[in-house]
Every structure is written in C-alpha cells, then in structure tokens.
Amino acid sequence: MRIEIKDLQFSYPAGVQALDNISLIIESGEQVAIVGQNGAGKTTLVRHFNGLLQPTSGEIKIGDWNTRKQSVAKLASRIGYVFQNPDEQLFSRNVKTEVAFGPKNLGYSNEQVEALINEALEMTELSNETETNPYDLSPTWRKMVAIASIIAMDTPIVIFDEPTTGQDAANIARIANVIKTLRERGKTVITITHDIDFCAENFERVIAMAKGKILLDGKANEILGQEEILATTYVDPPQLTRLGKKLGLKSTIINEAEFLNSI
Amino acid sequence: MAIVNLQNVTYKYPLTDSPALQNINLQVKEGEFLAVIGPNGAGKSTLCYTLAGFVPHFFKGELTGTVEVASQESSKSNLSEWVLNVGLAFQNPFNQISGAKFTVFEEIAFGLENTGVPRDEMKVRVEDAMKLTEISDLADRSPYSLSGGQQQRVALTSILVMQPKVLVLDEPTSQMDPIGTREVFGVIRTMAEKGMTVVLVEHKVEWIANFADRVVALHEGQIILDGKPREVLTSDALLDKGFGISRYTSVARKAKEQGLWNKADLPITLGEAVEGFRK
Amino acid sequence: MHGRLSFYVRRDSAIHHLNPLTKVVLALSIILVAFIAPWDWTATLLFFLVIVPLCFAGKVSREFFRSATRLIIPASGFIFIMQAFFQPVGQDIIFKFWFLDVTQESLIFAFRTSTRIAVMISSFTFFLLTTHPSELMSDLTRRGLPGQFAYVIISSLQILPQMQAKAQTIISAQRSRGLDTESTFLKRAGAIVPLVGPLVFGSLVEVEERAIAIEARGFTSTHKKTSLQNIADSGMDKIMRWVLLGLVITTLVLNIWLS
C-alpha cells in the first residue's frame, strides 16, 4: 500500500506552521526512518497518515483513500500507529483482551481475531501472559503489549513513534526483531527515532527533517554519512559510521557486517 | 574512604517471592563516579531506591544487611533526614516537578523550604545551584513550559541545592532527545568534576566509558562485575545476558575473531577503536 | 505544553499588596453581608459601591468586566428568570406567560436572590483575580494549614491542565486502534473505558513517582518550614480583618433586631 503526499502544508490553530510544502512517496513494503530534532515536524507529519491531523492544504493518499475523506477509525484498517507511551493505551483487564481491542474494532470475525492475537503475542514473546493484567507487567513488557496490540490489527502500514526510548538493549533487540518480521511480511514500516544506531541497523531509507521541511531523503548509506547537514537538525551519525569515517573508509558504513567487510 | 557502604544487602518488595537485590556488597569512595549497568529488571532502580532510603521506608518489604552512607545507617534514620544524605533523580522529568510552584526559582527552593532553611540562605543557595547547572536564565519560567532537557536540569538542580553527600541518578537521559541528553550529561559531568560522589544508572555505555571511574554490572539482583570501565565493559561475562554493549566493543570483538583486531584489549571508546583498527 | 488553572493577574496595586488572608476575609465578608442583611437592595449596593470600586483599586477592572459579561450577568440573569417564574409566592399577579405567573412577590424575591448570587460570584472573582494561589497557601500554611492540604490544592491547579493534554493523546492513540469517536452516541458512550482507563492507570504510576520526588525534597520533614516569599501581614491588615468581622456581626445583629 502506497503512501502519497502532495504539497502538504500544516499550521496549528495557534498559527505556527509545522509543515512546509512536503511532498513524499513511500512505496509498499519500504522501511523508512524519520529523524531530526524535536519540533522538526516528524510527529506532525506522521499523524497526517492516519487522519489524526488534517492538512491545511495539500493531500495525502493511503492507497486509494484520500485521508480527508475517511475517518480515523477507518484509516486504522490501513495504518497501525504505535504510540510512544504504552501507558497511554493500555486499559484492559488482561493482555489478551487488550490485544483483541484493535482487531475487534476493525470488524474481524472471532476466529480471525483469535488467530491475529496469537500471532501478535508470539512475535512479541507474550504468549504466556494472556491472562496477566498489563499493569502487572514491567514497563518493558507493557511496551511489548502495546506493540502486539497494533500488530494484531494486521495493517499493511505500521508506524512506530520513538519505539526505543527508555528501553534496554534486550527490548530494543526484540523490537528490531518485530520490525524484521513485519518487513518479511511485506509491511511498510515507518519509524520516528532519535536512536540513530537503531535507525541505521534496521531501516533502509532515512528522511531527515528540520523546521517543517525535508532536509534529506534517501538510502541510509547515502544519508547517514552527511554529517554537516545532519548536524543542523541535531542528528549525530551512527557510531560505526563515525568509526568508518575516521578510518578513512570509502563507503558510508551503517552496520557491523559492512564494517568488517571494508577493513 | 568509603562514603557508601552496602554490606550483604538483600531486599524483597512486598508480596513478591524472589528478591530484587541479592547479597549486594558495594563500597563507593568519596568523590568517585560509579556507573551501574544492567538489563531492565536487574534491580538497578531498586539499588537506587535502597541508596536513597526509599527502600525500605517508602516501599516497605524485607531488607536485610546494612546500608550506610557517611557512617549513618538508612534503616535507623528517618527518610526525610536521609534525603539530605542522598539525592535521587530519575527518568521522567515531568514527574519530578512538584507542581506546587509556579516558577523555576521557587521550584528549586521547594526542598529548602521543606527543610527549614532560612530565607536569605535559601536565595543564595538557589542562585548558586542554578549557576552551576547553567539554568539561571530559566528562573522566572514556569517549569511546565520547559523542554524535557530543561526540566530534567531543573530536577537535578532541585536535588543538588539540598547539598546531598551522594547523588544517585536513575537513567536520567532515557527520556531525553539528543540535545537534552547532552545537557543532562553536561550537568552530571560538572558535578563529578567538582568532587560530588555520583552513582549513575545508564544504558548509554559509550558515555560511561568516557567518564566513569568504576562500573558495576547488575544481573538478576546480583553484582556480577565490579571494576574499572575497561574490565567490565569488555568482559565476556556481559554477553547474552541482555546488557547493552558498546558498538565499538562489539565490532572489535567480531573483528578479533576474524583476525582483524590485533590489540589485546577491546576498545570502549571511539578513540580507542580508531587507534586499534588503524593498520 | 503548559497551562494553569488560575485567575490571578499580576498587578502592582494596594489590593495585591494586602495579605492573602485579609483578602479571603474581605471577599467572604462581602458575601455574608449580602446574604444576611435584611434589605432587598443591599446586594446591589455592595456590587456597585464596593466590589466594582475594589476592582478598580486592584487594577483588574478589565478582567472583572470580561468575567461579568461572560459569567456573572448570564448566571444571575438566569436565576432571576427562574425565580421570577417558578417561585410559588404571592398573590399579586403582574403578568402571565403561558401557564407561568409572575407576581410582585416573586419579582422581589428573584431580584434579591439574583443580586446576592451576583455578589457571591463577583466577590470570588475579585478575590481570585487579586490573590496569588501560592501566596495564599503559603500564608495559610504559616498559620497552621497542613502542608499536604495546601500541596494538593496548588498542584491540582498545574497538573490538571497537564492531564488534559494526556487525555488528548490517549484519545488519539485509541482512535488509531479503530475506536469510533465520531459516529453514534452509543458508540461514543462505549468509548469511555478505553479513554478513562489509561488516564487513571497512567496517572497512578505518575502519582507514585511524584510522591517519591517530593519526598526526596523533604516534603515530609518535620522541620518548621520556611518560606521563600515574605508575605507581609501589616497592622493595617489586622485592623481591616477585625473591622470586617465587626461589620458582619453588626449585619447579623441588625437582621435579628429588625425581623
């Protein structure tokens, strides 16, 4: 499912212009990371995809749907959005009911819901916690419940808003695994992230934003080496990229395998 | 001279079966900068609460062993007195703002008002603390109008102004963006350089490698490593346990297996990695 | 994101310099006199001859008149009409409207009640406009109000608007999971639990952390608390409070004596 954005302008009611003439195409199955300083417009942009925000001018199409013409509830069948703070989402008496919420809203049959839940729980290593109250779990596992709740909706596009904030290495690895599985299933995955190493290791395309505009947009190994431009939006290059640069390696390194092959 | 002395500390939260901390023996010298690493659930926050007296006074539960700071035992003290010994700051800056004050200046003075510091002394201490943490320009702002990094610095200043003997920081940069992270680490570094005894729980291993005097690795409630940053951060004992490993260390470890890293020690900083890989 | 539930307007006026307790007593005295006085026109006189001049003295007249047009006049107007039409008193019918009678007695009653309500609201408004909540709480704490009580009130003023922001995010998150908040009333009613649940549970987590944070700053210390701000309580303040008390008592005596 393709995302097509044409000439998007957005200003908040108070008058602040948050997005300035954004045009963008994200093809089906792409893995995209959006980076940039706070206030650059990353979250504002992404909230237009599922209709939470409507453009002041310009148009967004998700597949054949124009976001102006569909409710947020309907767009939820095409876009799953994992919010940053799981505690702003969890309310059910147990994990199973929580994860069932999304797919039920989308109108799946009981059998389908059951199948979707089981799959989502397996992907997030929560299969043994179906009867547990989400708030009895640690923040680490509450994060995975929130992710499972969105995956279970089986949407062609999934958005992660700062998925690694506050997570330890083990959970970041779990989240990376989830994203890998989604990629293998042909889903489009879009993430907003400050963790540039996580970005380099899991996303093939990087969009850098600043002040409501797109600064850079391209393949990770083209974008992440552009230190000076990234610095203007307070993005540091990934650690291995920096290492590669200091060692004078020709290509921009974005992961361990590339590094080891280059030296 | 050890200003912090934990002997055989074991602690169980109420209504739990397994201890959150098991047999912890830990000494921290005055002026030392100790970093604590570990996967989530290892007991890092519990350790912070224990140092700050919230275990056992706030959380109740079963605590055995001795927790001593500056020759005083936490179980024999009142929590409201103990907080003058050990200052505690944690992840979420928003939850550390009292809500009782309308300006940053008053917010920082809050702790001094509670502990009966005379007005003139209060004003001087707040001004000095704000200068140290470079937030003097925020004095008249509402704490709720600040960025995450600014709020966290206000929270830190509010604790520092109480002049604790030990500063315990539980993942202070976890919720910060890169700018906020830089600002907060800047304050921590300033305090450490001024001789404050600091215990910092952090995931950002690269920063610890550069600035900590000593690193303690916590796993399932127990200390599994305790030593200099290089020893601990490159140790194989950290592997496959959920610890965050610096990417420089990790790639050099793999390179060593392939015969591409020839130095005896694995690197923990960018500089060391560059040096080691240059042929 | 910041906002605050507070009417307070910072000005440099004689009223602002008064001790907060004095302003409490002043506002309450005006209300009590309006309600206790045995005459129908006391409230109206108090409004025009006391409250309005006080607002000018406090340099908050503009804010007060904005509040008057938005709240005081509509509220008291509404009460007037309700009382005039629905109060079953009196025989002297002045006019009928459908099945409702307006009598002379009910008109007088309506006038009295609505002007008293108007005085009550205006007096409170005047008080809120000229009194800084922190200063009020500091002063009351100094006089013996438990610190916890003051804390709960002040922190609510700042934290409730934050909860509003949180509620907005929760609504967005649940809508993104297909929660229908736009169609039928029943569907919207069923949306309550997924919206209130996270707000309540999430807040419990925050409350515990905040309790730890204020504890870490000596909140439960048994030391005598000091105050950053020096809130003056002049001789003039004390005299004013006694005079106001005297006025209230005099009004009460007059009421009893004349009835």
pLDDT digits (tens, 9 = 90+) for A192-224: 999 999 999 999 999 999 999 999 999 998 999
pTM of the model: 0.89
Q: Please indicate whether, in this complex, the C-beta atoms of C220 and B80 are within 8 angstroms of each other.
A: yes
Give the Cα separation of B190 and C161 in Å (integer).
Answer: 35
How far C256 CA sits from the closest chain B CA (Å)?
Answer: 44
Report the chain B residue with the minimal C-alpha distance to residue A254.
B247
Angstrom CA distances, A68 to A2, A53, A65, stand at: 16, 9, 9
Tell me the Ramachandran region of residue A27: left when phi exceeds 0, alpha when psi lies from -120 to 50, beta otherwise. beta
How far C191 CA sits from the closest chain A CA (Å)?
Answer: 11
Q: Between residues 187 and 216 of chain C, which touch chain A (CB distance below 8 Å)?
A: 193-194, 196-198, 201-202, 205
Domain ranges in chain A are 28-54+63-236
How far C159 CA sits from the closest chain B CA (Å)?
Answer: 6
Residue B105, C-beta contacts closer than 8 angstroms, at least 6 positions apart: B126, B130, B139, B140, C228
Using an 8 Å CB-CB cutoff, list residues of chain A that contact chain C.
47, 50, 52, 71-73, 76-77, 79-81, 83, 85, 87-92, 101-102, 105-106, 135, 149-150, 153
Residue C133 is predicted with a pLDDT of: 87
Whether B196 contacts B34, CB under 8 Å: no
Q: Which chains touch C (3 or more CB pairs under 8 A)?
A: A, B
Angstrom CA distances, C125 to A20, C45, C67, C155, stand at: 43, 17, 8, 21
pLDDT at residue C34 above 50? yes
Q: Please indicate whether, in this complex, the C-beta atoms of C177 and A101 are within 8 angstroms of each other.
A: yes
Using an 8 Å CB-CB cutoff, list residues of chain A that contact chain B.
37-38, 138-140, 165-171, 194, 197, 234-236, 239-240, 242-243, 246-247, 256, 259-260, 263
pLDDT digits (tens, 9 = 90+) for A181-194: 999 999 999 999 99
Helix, strand and coil in chain C, % to nearest 5: 70, 5, 25
Of B52, B98, B119, the CB nearest to C155: B98
Please indicate if any CB of chain A lies within 8 Å of the CB of B204.
Answer: no
**Mutate which of C207, C228, C229 to test chain B, going by most B C-beta atoms within 10 A?**
C228
What is the rounded average pLDDT of the residues C206-224?
91
Instruction: Sort out which chain B residues have CB atoms less than 8 A from C155's CB and list them.
Output: 98-100
Instruction: Sort out which chain C residues have CB atoms less than 8 A from A52's CB and list them.
Output: 172, 175-176
Residue B53 is predicted with a pLDDT of: 95
Q: Please indicate whether, in this complex, the C-beta atoms of A263 and B40 are within 8 angstroms of each other.
A: no
Identify the CATH number of the domain defined by range A28-54+63-236. Answer: 3.40.50.300
Binning pLDDT at 50, 70 and 90, where does residue C104 land?
A: confident
Q: What is the ipTM of this complex?
A: 0.91
pLDDT digits (tens, 9 = 90+) for A47-86: 999 999 999 999 999 999 999 999 999 999 999 999 999 9
- Which among B177, B183, B178 has a CA at the least distance from the CA of B155? B183
Give the end-to-end CA distance of chain B in Å, rounded to a whole number: 44
Residue B74, C-beta contacts closer than 8 angstroms, at least 6 positions apart: B50, B53, B57, B67, B68, B82
How many other CB atoms are found less than 10 A from the CB of residue C123? Answer: 24
- What is the pLDDT of chain B when averaged over all its residues? 94
Give the Cα separation of B234 and C142 in Å (integer).
Answer: 57
Domain ranges in chain B are 2-245, 246-279
Whether B99 contacts C155, CB under 8 Å: yes
User: In which residue are the tokens 């006085």 written?
Assistant: C37
Q: Please indicate whether, in this complex, the C-beta atoms of C215 and B80 are within 8 angstroms of each other.
A: yes
DSSP sequence for C217-234 = TTTT--SPP--SS-----
Give the Cα separation of B264 and B276 in Å (integer).
Answer: 10
Q: Which residue has the higher pLDDT, C90 or A67?
A: A67
Residue C137 is predicted with a pLDDT of: 87
pLDDT at residue C1 above 60? no
Of C147, C217, C221, the CB nearest to B158: C217
Backbone angles phi, psi at A231, to 5 degrees: -65, -30
CB-neighbour burial class of residue C259 (10 A; exposed 0-12, middle 13-18, buried 19+): exposed
Report the chain C residue with the minimal C-alpha distance to residue B114.
C225
Binning pLDDT at 50, 70 and 90, where does residue B279 land?
A: low
Backbone angles phi, psi at C33, to 5 degrees: -60, -40
> B2-245 falls under which CATH superfamily?
P-loop containing nucleotide triphosphate hydrolases (3.40.50.300)
How many other CB atoms are found less than 10 A from the CB of residue C49? Answer: 10
- Three-state secondary structure call for residue A22: strand
pLDDT digits (tens, 9 = 90+) for B152-206: 999 999 999 999 999 999 999 999 999 999 999 999 999 999 999 999 999 989 8
- What is the pLDDT of chain C when averaged over all its residues? 87
pLDDT at residue C2 above 60? no
pLDDT digits (tens, 9 = 90+) for B75-125: 999 999 999 999 999 999 999 999 889 999 999 999 999 999 999 999 999
